[in-house]
């Protein structure tokens, strides 16, 4: 990870505290540039397309999707798992790296946590629209009701998902907000006297005054939340993996799934953080805050988690062969050589081959190459879920029910729509709140004016 070497400060440019405050809060206090408006116009169009697709789904029904009797889960659940996974990097950076005292996290944790929250919002959308009747979505909660014996199934991992993801969303949002409070106070203090902005920020910053006592309590709460978020983030993708692994479907039922899904989630999440941060540091002029050393550290995490994912693929194939179970063997053979082999090999190339470019320090510190690699990983991790879900379902025990699956335009549009939602929220976040945790960055300044 980062070098604890006296010669390599985490923040470049020999900044003073004042400079940090000015530079970090500048985007929240100035008019957005034209590029920002163009970007948000694009993402809003994507969002509108998704809105149309969801409207279509809700008014016409799930028939607008390409699902059939054999393949009952496909694009929707793939997208769901994809987005939940993206969220994991945020919690890893904010909580787990905090517990491991990895101080380089301070430049990226705020944005990564925001990304977590937006990604979980995108993820949550899919199970809800998949219900077909989202207006009875609250039936997924164990609420007292007048429906007699109609009650949630506590033995179903799908219900555990409801609990896991909603808890994850709440804790992530609280963690993010608590971390924001000192910066919100700075933002409040800098806002013009009497402005609406100041009034709103006064409420949000909870009367923060930077006193010693506030800081002590803040740090206690932050540490506790980090400790709480750590098992939580592991549990979320574990339970998502149980959606599949508790079944008796070859290709789904594997005891390896929980840690394998968690590692995959961190892999995809870090790829997304890299993609976003490489662009953001450039256009927002944060290259001295999110330095090449930060990119390199993230690239190393990507390499490690990519290899864990490759290890999981290899284990699955080996045990399928070792088991001697004809169904297990067939599923994996079918993945690599069947009608969806293109998806399998796309996944293999993106997830197994691409990370190995990261052995080179040159690659790890060249932003544009990293950007391309991170996009490949994003694509690969989407395909991973698609491969697991669709190839395991489309040819089951009964050859008479074998079939294929083709996504409809409506499904693709919904997926594009979630990207629209995700990126729109991120663009708004960049201009409204300090994207970098100024108060935390000040704590790791080596050459500040103290």
Partner 1 sequence: MSHSSEAHEVMPDLSPIPGLRKLGRKLQKSALGLVALGLLCLFLGASGKHIWGNVLIAGFNLTGVGLGALFFLAVQVLTSARWSDPILAPLHAMPRVLPFAAIVMLSLWFGATQVYPWAMPEYANNHHIHGRHAWLNAPFFFLRVALFFGLWIGIGQALLKRHKLAAPFIAVFAATFALASFDWIMSVEPLWYSTIFGIYGFAGMFVQGIALLTLSAIALRNFGLVRGVAHARNHDLGKLLFAFSCFWAYIWLSQFMLIWYSNIPEEIGPMKALVFGPWAPLFYLNVVLNFVAPFFLLIQKKAKQDETVLIWAAVILLAGHWLDIYLMVFPALTKAAAPSFGLAEVGGILLTLGCGHLAVWSRLTRSRPTTWDDRFATGASLIDDQHKALHDQVTGLFDLIEGFRPGKEREIAAAFKAFTAGLKEHIETEEATMANIGEPLAKEHQRAHREYLLSLERLIGRGDYGPNSHEDLLNALGEFRLHFDTQEEQALLDHLRTSGHPH
| DSSP SS3 for 228 | helix
Structural contact between residues 309 and 263, judged by C-beta atoms closer than 8 angstroms: yes
| Binding map of partner 1 across residues 139-158, x = CB under 8 A, - = no contact | --------------------
Taking CB under 8 A as the rule, does residue 136 contact partner 1? no
Between residue 337 and residue 376, which ones bind partner 1 under the rule CB under 8 A?
359, 361
| Binding residue for partner 1, selected from 93, 234, 277, 425, defined by CB under 8 A | 234
Measure the CA–CA gap between 334 and 328, rounded to whole angstroms: 10
Taking CB under 8 A as the rule, does residue 245 contact partner 1? yes
Q: How many residues bind partner 1 (CB under 8 A)?
A: 37
Length of the chain: 450
**Among residues 234 and 436, whose Cβ is nearest to partner 1?**
234
Least separation in angstroms between residue 285's CB and partner 1 is 26
Report DSSP state, residue 96: I
Taking CB under 8 A as the rule, does residue 164 contact partner 1? no
Least separation in angstroms between residue 234's CB and partner 1 is 7
| Binding residue for partner 1, selected from 307, 352, 363, 369, defined by CB under 8 A | 307
Least separation in angstroms between residue 339's CB and partner 1 is 25
Q: Given the structure tokens 């599923």, which residue do they identify?
A: 331
**What angle, rounded to 10 degrees, do the helices at 109-130 and 75-91 form?**
160
Taking CB under 8 A as the rule, does residue 3 contact partner 1? yes
Angstrom CA distances, 112 to 272, 318, 417, 437, stand at 9, 36, 21, 11
Helix (H) / strand (E) containing 92? none
Q: Which two tokens stand for residue 213?
A: 């006592």
Measure the CA–CA gap between 110 and 116, rounded to whole angstroms: 10
DSSP3 helix / strand / coil % (the chain, rounded to 5): 75, 0, 25
Least separation in angstroms between residue 246's CB and partner 1 is 5
Q: Which two tokens stand for residue 435?
A: 């994207």
Among 118-126, 306-314, 370-378, 424-432, the segment contacting partner 1 (CB under 8 A): 306-314
Report DSSP state, residue 191: S
| Binding map of partner 1 across residues 311-340, x = CB under 8 A, - = no contact | x--xxx-xx--xxxx---------------
| Binding residue for partner 1, selected from 78, 238, 275, 391, defined by CB under 8 A | 238
**Among residues 184 and 387, whose Cβ is nearest to partner 1?**
387
Taking CB under 8 A as the rule, does residue 231 contact partner 1? yes
End-to-end CA distance of the chain: 27
**What does the binding site for partner 1 look like in residue numbers (CB under 8 A)?**
1-6, 8, 231, 234, 238, 242, 245-248, 253-259, 300, 307-308, 311, 314-316, 318-319, 322-325, 359, 361
């Amino acid at each position: 990870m980062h070098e604890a070497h006296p010669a390599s400060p985490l923040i470049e440019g020999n900044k003073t505290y004042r400079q940090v405050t000015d530079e970090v809060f500048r985007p929240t206090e100035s008019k957005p540039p034209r590029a920002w408006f163009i970007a948000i116009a694009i993402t809003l169009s994507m969002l509108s397309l998704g809105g149309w697709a969801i409207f279509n789904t809700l008014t016409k029904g799930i028939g607008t999707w390409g699902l059939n009797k054999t393949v009952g889960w496909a694009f929707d659940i793939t997208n769901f798992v994809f987005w939940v996974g993206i969220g994991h990097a945020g919690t890893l950076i904010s909580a787990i790296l905090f517990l491991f005292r990895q101080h380089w996290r301070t430049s990226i944790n705020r944005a990564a946590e925001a990304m977590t929250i937006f990604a979980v919002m995108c993820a949550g959308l899919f199970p809800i629209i998949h219900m077909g009747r989202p207006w009875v979505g609250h039936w997924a909660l164990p609420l007292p009701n007048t429906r007699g014996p109609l009650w949630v199934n506590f033995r179903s991992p799908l219900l555990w998902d409801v609990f896991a993801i909603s808890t994850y969303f709440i804790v992530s949002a609280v963690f993010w907000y608590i971390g924001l409070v000192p910066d919100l106070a700075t933002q409040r203090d800098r806002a013009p006297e009497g402005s609406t902005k100041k009034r709103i920020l006064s409420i949000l910053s909870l009367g923060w005054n930077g006193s010693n006592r506030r800081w002590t309590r803040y740090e206690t709460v932050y540490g506790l939340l980090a400790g709480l978020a750590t098992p939580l983030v592991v549990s979320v993708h574990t339970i998502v993996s149980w959606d599949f692994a508790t079944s008796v479907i070859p290709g789904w039922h594997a005891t390896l799934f929980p840690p394998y899904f968690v590692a995959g989630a961190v892999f995809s999440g870090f790829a997304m953080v890299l993609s976003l941060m490489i662009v953001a540091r450039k256009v927002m002029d944060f290259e001295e805050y999110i330095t090449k050393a930060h990119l390199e550290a993230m690239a190393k995490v990507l390499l490690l988690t990519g290899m864990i994912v490759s290890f999981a693929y290899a284990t699955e194939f080996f045990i399928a062969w070792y088991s001697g179970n004809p169904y297990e063997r067939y599923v994996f053979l079918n993945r690599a050589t069947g009608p969806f082999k293109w998806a399998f090999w796309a996944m293999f190339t993106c997830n197994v081959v691409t990370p190995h470019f990261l052995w080179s320090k040159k690659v790890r510190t060249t932003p544009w190459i990293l950007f391309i690699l991170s996009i490949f990983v994003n694509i690969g991790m989407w395909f991973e879920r698609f491969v697991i879900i669709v190839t395991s379902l489309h040819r089951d025990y009964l050859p008479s029910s074998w079939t294929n699956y083709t996504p409809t335009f409506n499904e693709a549009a919904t997926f594009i729509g979630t990207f629209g939602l995700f990126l729109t929220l991120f663009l708004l976040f960049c201009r409204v709140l300090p994207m970098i945790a100024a108060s935390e960055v000040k704590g790791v300044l080596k050459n500040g004016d103290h």
